[in-house]
A and B are shown apart, each in its own frame.
Chain A
Amino acid sequence: MTSLSDPILWAAFVAAAVGSYLVRVSFIVLFQRVDEVPRLAERALELVPAAVLAGLVLPSLVAPEGTVAVLTPKVAAGGVATVVAWRTESMAWTLAAGMGALWLLLAV
Chain B
Amino acid sequence: MTSTARSAFVDGARAVLPALPANVPFGLVVGVAAANLGLDPVTALWSAALLFAGAAQLAMMELLARDAPVAVAVLTAIVVNLRYAMYSASIAPYLQSFSRRSRLVLSFFLLDVTYALSVAKFRAEGSVDRRAYYFGTALPLWVTWTVSVTAGASLGTGLPPAWHLEFAIPLLFLALLVPNVRDRGGVVAAAVGGVGATAGLDVPFDLGLVIAALAGVGLGLVADPDGADDEPPADRPDRTPDGTTEGEP
Contacts and interface: CB of A to CB of B under 8 A. Distances in A.
Interface in B152-192: 162, 164, 166-181, 185-187, 189-192
B175 A90 contact: yes
A30 B92 contact: yes
Contacts of A48: 83, 86-87, 90, 189, 213, 217
A59 B92 contact: no
A19 B77 contact: yes
A50 B77 CA distance: 20
Contacts of B88: 23-28
Contacts of B78: 16, 19-20, 23
A25 B102 CA distance: 11
Interface string A68-89: 1000001001100110011001
A75 to B, nearest CB: 10
Nearest to A46: B227
B25 interface: yes
Contacts of A26: 85, 88-89
A50 B74 contact: no
Contacts of B92: 27-28, 30-32, 34, 37
Interface stretch (B5-13, B63-71, B239-247): B63-71
B178 A60 contact: no
Interface residues of B, number: 100
Given A27-B88, A28-B106, A99-B168, A68 B198 contact: yes
B18 to A, nearest CB: 5
B73 A43 contact: no
Contact of A16 (B77, B91, B116): B77
B236 A89 contact: yes
B19 A49 contact: no
A45 B77 contact: no
Contact of A49 (B81, B106, B107, B116): B116
Given A43-B227, A46-B227, A91 B19 contact: yes
Contacts of B178: 82, 85-86, 89, 94
B195 interface: yes
Contacts of B21: 91-92, 95
Given A12-B74, A98-B171, A17 B89 contact: no
Interface in B201-244: 201-202, 209, 212-218, 220-221, 225-227, 236
14 contacts: A1-B65, A4-B70, A9-B64, A17-B47, A21-B108, A23-B85, A31-B89, A43-B221, A53-B176, A54-B194, A59-B194, A85-B178, A86-B178, A98-B171
Interface of A: 1-4, 6, 8-17, 19-21, 23-37, 40-64, 66, 68, 74, 77-78, 81-82, 85-86, 89-92, 94-95, 98-99, 102-103, 106
The 5 closest A-B pairs by CB, nearest first: A51-B216, A51-B193, A58-B194, A55-B197, A54-B194
